[in-house]
Amino acid sequence: MSAFRSGGNVHVNGIRLHYLLYGQPRAGRDPVIILPGITSPAVTWGFVGERFGREFETYVLDIRGRGLSESGSSLDYSLDAQAADLAGLAAALKLSRYSVVGHSMGARIAVRAARMGLPGLARLVLVDPPVSGPGRRSYPARLDWYVDSIRLASRGCDAEAMRAFCPTWTDDQLRLRAEWLHTCDERAVRESFDGFHTDDVHADLGGICVPVRLIAAGRGDVVRDDDISEIQRLVPGASTTRVTDAGHMIPWDDEEGFYAAFEAFLGARLDAATSKEKEHVSQRS
């Protein structure tokens, strides 16, 4: 049975923001807001929303300039504007207490928003956040990878054409990306990518006052061991883990490993059903 409840729009900071809602309110469990990455409309995180929705009321946001949220030639795509959107979304939804899970760009948005002040923020999960910034090594992905694939999708393409950009993805994942990638505004992506190198999120980390969990990919070069050590120094008490068999797009590469990496940080295990199934098999064997 699907955990999907509805899509919705709110008017925040002068623009329309769209979100997808999964799951029902659970007593004793905070709602969760998921912030996807630089070219990931909310619908592409639907499979994650479904799993989260089993345990939490879950909102997956279309970041401005992506999906069904507003875009435009004069829209502000800065990190500060995106962070203000998160605060505005939580206020518009009347969430008095909630957790945030940010992947890649979404993690940087969450860090900036937490530093700026997020009333009601209970916990923060940073999933393979780009650690680039002023005076730091560049983000390992290339801008043309994003731009070329967006332009291809904007002309219309099928899953097979998208495979050149995401060779390890399943046919279903490729079909969804081919269908929705055109909704990512090219200027929004360019400005966010530039921001990976000009925004100093490390200066924001010390201002976070809620429990933090860092989930890093086991493959790729986005978050290295020394980056983890630095984040732990800047955010004392932050818990960390790696998903060994995954690259930057962790839930696409190792979905079950991604859920297991949360453990009970959010208040309930996302892999609880899998664990119970394993326990049942063990008792029978």
Q: What is the pLDDT of residues 183-215, one digit of tens each?
A: 999 999 999 999 999 999 999 999 999 999 999
User: Nearest-CA neighbor of 114 among 138, 75, 79?
Assistant: 79
For residue 117, pLDDT over 80 is answered with yes
Range of the domain at 84: 4-135+200-284
For residue 29, pLDDT over 90 is answered with yes
Q: How many other C-beta atoms are found inside a 10 Å radius of the C-beta of residue 189?
A: 21
**What pLDDT shows up at residue 98?**
98
Partner residues linked to 16 by β-bridges: 11
**Is 142 within a domain?**
no
For residue 282, pLDDT over 60 is answered with no
Burial of residue 140 (number of CB atoms within 10 Å: 0-12, 13-18, 19+) = exposed
Mean pLDDT of 159-173: 96
**What's the token pair of residue 135?**
């005076």
Share of the chain above pLDDT 90, in %: 95
**What pLDDT shows up at residue 273?**
54
217 contacts: CB under 8 Å, gap ≥ 6: 128, 223, 242, 243, 246, 247, 248, 250, 253
Mean pLDDT of 159-179: 96
Q: Are 143 and 190 in contact (CB under 8 A)?
A: yes
Spatial strand order of the sheet with 58-61 comes to: 4-12, 15-22, 58-61, 32-35, 98-103, 121-127, 212-217, 239-243
**Is 96 within a domain?**
yes
The position carrying tokens 């097979």 is: 160
The C-alpha angle with vertex 246 and arms to 146 and 122, in degrees rounded to 5, equals 85
**Is 8 within a domain?**
yes
The position carrying tokens 């063990």 is: 282
Q: What is the pLDDT of residues 118-154, one digit of tens each?
A: 999 999 999 999 999 999 999 999 999 999 999 999 9
The C-alpha angle with vertex 203 and arms to 199 and 209, in degrees rounded to 5, equals 125
Does the pTM of the predicted model rise above 0.75?
yes
For residue 242, pLDDT over 90 is answered with yes
Tell me which amino acid residue 102 is.
G
Mean pLDDT of 22-45: 98
Q: What is d(CA 53, CA 244) in angstroms, rounded to the nearest whole number?
A: 25
**Is 48 within a domain?**
yes
**What pLDDT shows up at residue 278?**
41
The C-alpha angle with vertex 209 and arms to 37 and 14, in degrees rounded to 5, equals 50
The C-alpha angle with vertex 35 and arms to 167 and 5, in degrees rounded to 5, equals 95
**Is 144 within a domain?**
no
**What pLDDT shows up at residue 251?**
97
Pairing of strands 32-35, 121-127: unpaired
For residue 279, pLDDT over 60 is answered with no
**What pLDDT shows up at residue 216?**
98
User: Nearest-CA neighbor of 102 among 91, 81, 86, 90?
Assistant: 86
Q: Look up the CATH number of the domain holding residue 16.
A: 3.40.50.1820
* Confidence grade of residue 277 (pLDDT, cut at 50, 70, 90): very low
**Is 167 within a domain?**
no
Q: What is d(CA 44, CA 48) in angstroms, rounded to the nearest whole number?
A: 9
Mean pLDDT of 229-238: 97
User: Nearest-CA neighbor of 246 among 213, 222, 277?
Assistant: 222
* Confidence grade of residue 103 (pLDDT, cut at 50, 70, 90): very high
Q: Are 213 and 238 in contact (CB under 8 A)?
A: yes
**Is 163 within a domain?**
no
**Is 172 within a domain?**
no
When comparing pLDDT for 29 and 117, which is higher? Answer: 29
Please give the tally of structural domains in the chain. Answer: 1
Partner residues linked to 10 by β-bridges: 17
User: Nearest-CA neighbor of 140 among 152, 149, 150, 131?
Assistant: 131
**What's the token pair of residue 148?**
């070329």
